[in-house]
Amino acid sequence: DFALSGLLGEVLVRPNTVFYMRGVEEEKEDGEMRE
């Protein structure tokens, strides 16, 4: 499960990825560009 641990590490170290993905989802719903 080394790959899984690495993935979790990325999320913990760089939570910006989570906000980025959420931003993309909101962009699709609202139809507006968000950073």
Residue 28, classed as helix, strand or coil, is helix
Sorted by sequence, the CB contacts under 8 Å of residue 25 that are 6+ apart come out as: none
Q: What is the pLDDT of residue 5?
A: 74
Check pLDDT > 70 for residue 3: yes
Number of compact structural domains in the chain: 1
Tokens of 15: 């939570």
Check pLDDT > 60 for residue 31: no
Q: What is the pLDDT of residue 33?
A: 62
- For residue 20, which of 6, 34, 5 has the smallest C-alpha distance? 34
Confidence of residue 27 (pLDDT cuts 50, 70, 90): low
Confidence of residue 20 (pLDDT cuts 50, 70, 90): confident
Tokens of 19: 């906000």
Residue ranges making up the domain that contains 26 = 1-35
Count of residues in the chain: 35
